[in-house]
Structure 1
Amino acid sequence: MKFSAAFMGLVFATSLSIACQQEGLNCAPYDGACNLLIGIASTQNLTGSRRMFVSTTTTTGFMSGIANGDGICQTDANTNGLSGTYKAMIANGVGTLRRASLSANTGDGQLDWVLRANTVYYRSDGSTIISTTGSNALLSVPLQNSISSGAGQYWSGMNADWTTGVDSCADSGAEGWTFVGAGAGNGDVGDVSATSTAAIRTTSVACSTGGLFLVCVEQ
C-alpha cells in the first residue's frame, strides 16, 4: 500500500506533537514544521483549480436572461483564448433559477450554481489566486485578491451573504434579467475590485444602467 508524501508528513507531524506533549517537552521549536506539514496535507482536500474573469462585454440588466449572460461569458472566453466552458456568476430568483445559497453564507439549496466545492479560483492569468471555496462551494471572504485588478461593477443578483437578492431586473412573475418595461426596477451589483463582501454585493442600480460587467467562471 502506498501513501502520499503529504499523508506521511501529517502522520509525522502528529506523532511528533503527541510525543512532545507526553514527555512534557517544549514543542515550540517544532511548531513551524508541524504547521507546514499539516498545511500541505490539508491541500489534498482540494479538487482542483478554475479561472474567473471579468467580461470585456458590458451590458444593462436587460440581458435576456441568465442563459444569455452565460453566452456573453463564453464568447468573451473564446475571444480571449480561454479554453473550457464559462458561466456568469449571477443569481436569479425568478424563472430559470440560479442560486448560491438559501441561508446566509451556508451554500444550502444551490441550483445551477457556477462555483465548485473545494476549488482554488484564479484570475485568467492562472497565477493570481482570488479565493478558495470550501465544501459549501462559496468563495472564502475576504478574498485573497480581488476578482480583477481593474475597477467596475458587475451584475450579481445576490446579497452580500450569497443569498439571492430581491433586485434582479424582473417584472412580476417574469424571467429575471429580462424586464425592459417602464420603471423596470433595480439589479444587485458587486464590485470587481473589492476583497470584502462588497465583491458579492455593494449596492443596487437601475436595470437600465449600461457599462456593467459580468463575472465569468470556468466550469
Structure 2
Amino acid sequence: MKRKQFYKKAIFWIHLASVFSGLSLALSCEKSKDNNDLLIGILLIASNSQTTSQTDTSCSAGYCKMFVSLANATLNAGVSGLDSQCASDTNKPSGGATYKAMVADGTNRIACTTPNCATGGTSEHTNWIFKPNKEYRRSDGTTIIGTTTANGVFSFPLTNEVQTSVVGTNSTVTGLNTNWTSSANDCNNFANTGANTSNGLHDDKTNLLLSVGTSGCGNTMKIICVEQ
C-alpha cells in the first residue's frame, strides 16, 4: 500500500516537473523571439536612419545649392544632356543630390510663359528647376544667392552672384530672356551647335544672369546647375 502511494507521488512530481520544464522552455523561446524581434527592429531603424542620412540633401534642410560647371556646356544633347553634365561635373557638391541645368528651350523645360510668371505663377512651369519661396546658396552652403518668389523664379537683384570666380569664361548657357520667358535662341532645343543661344553671366546679380544677348552654340559657355 505504501509502495503504491509512493509510486503515485513519484508520478505526480515527475508530471509537475515536466510541466514546469515545458513552461520554462516556452518562456525561454518567447523571450528569445522577443529579443530577436527587438534586434530586428533596431537593425531596421539603424538601416532607415543610415539611408536617410545618405540621401539627405540641403534642399530638405531648408535651402538648396547652386553651382557653375567646371566643364564647358555641350549644346547638342538636349536639356537632358545638360542635366547629365550637371550630375557628373567636378564642381558638383558632395552628398548625392540631383542637380539640373538652369536652361529653357520652350518645350522640354520652361520657366515662364508670361514675364516673371506673373499671369499663371507656377502653373506656367514645365520641368522647371527652381522651387517657389526657396532659399538658394552657393556650394559652400553659407553664401546666400537669393530666395525665389512664390512664382518659382528670382526677382533681381540677387543677394549674391551665383559665382564670382571665372574659369575660362563667365558666360553661361540659359535659353532665357531677362524676364524668365524662353528665348527663341536655344540651339534648336539644344540639339544644334551650329545655331545660337541666349546666354547670361554667372557673376552678375541683375537679370543679366539670364541674358546678355545671344552667342553661337559652338562658343565656350558654362552651365548653372541647381539642386532639386
Assess same fold via TM > 0.5: yes
The secondary structure found in structure 2 opposite 1:126 is coil
Kindly indicate whether the alpha-carbon contact (under 8 Å) linking 2:93 and 2:139 is maintained by their aligned counterparts in 1: no
Match of 1:153 in 2: 171
The secondary structure found in structure 2 opposite 1:105 is helix
Richer in helix (by share): 2
C-alpha displacement at 1:140, in angstroms? 2.3
Alignment of 1:1-219 (within 5 A): 48-62=62-76, 64-76=77-89, 80-94=93-107, 97-106=108-117, 107=121, 108-151=123-166, 152-170=170-188, 176-180=189-193, 184-209=194-219, 211-219=220-228
Unaligned runs of 5+ in 2: 1-60
C-alpha displacement at 1:134, in angstroms? 1.5
The secondary structure found in structure 1 opposite 2:71 is coil
Distance change (3 Å), C-alpha of 1:60 and 1:76:
closer
Alpha-carbon distance between aligned partners in 2 of 1:212 and 1:56, rounded to the nearest angstrom:
10
C-alpha displacement at 1:202, in angstroms? 1.1
The secondary structure found in structure 1 opposite 2:208 is helix
CA RMSD of aligned residues (A): 1.7
The size of the alignment, in residue pairs, is 161
Alpha-carbon distance between aligned partners in 2 of 1:109 and 1:91, rounded to the nearest angstrom:
12
C-alpha displacement at 1:139, in angstroms? 1.3
Unaligned runs of 5+ in 1: 1-46, 171-175
- Deviation sequence 1:34-73 (CA, Å, 0-9, x none): xxxxxxxxxxxxx9210000011112433x1010100000
Which structure is larger by alpha-carbon Rg, 1 or 2? 2
C-alpha displacement at 1:78, in angstroms? 8.0
Distance change (3 Å), C-alpha of 1:104 and 1:88:
same
Give me the TM-score of the superposition, normalised by structure 2: 0.67
- Deviation sequence 1:76-99 (CA, Å, 0-9, x none): 2686524311000100124xx100
Q: Which has the higher contact order (CA 8 A, sep 6+)?
A: 1
Structure 1 moving runs of 4+ over 4 Å: 77-80
Kindly indicate whether the alpha-carbon contact (under 8 Å) linking 1:73 and 1:214 is maintained by their aligned counterparts in 2: yes
C-alpha displacement at 1:135, in angstroms? 0.9
Alpha-carbon distance between aligned partners in 2 of 1:133 and 1:79, rounded to the nearest angstrom:
21
Alpha-carbon distance between aligned partners in 2 of 1:148 and 1:74, rounded to the nearest angstrom:
18
Kindly indicate whether the alpha-carbon contact (under 8 Å) linking 2:86 and 2:92 is maintained by their aligned counterparts in 1: no
Amino acid at match of 1:123: R
Amino acid at match of 1:103: T
Alpha-carbon distance between aligned partners in 1 of 2:99 and 2:150, rounded to the nearest angstrom:
21
Alpha-carbon distance between aligned partners in 2 of 1:135 and 1:79, rounded to the nearest angstrom:
27
Give me the TM-score of the superposition, normalised by structure 1: 0.69
Amino acid at match of 1:56: L
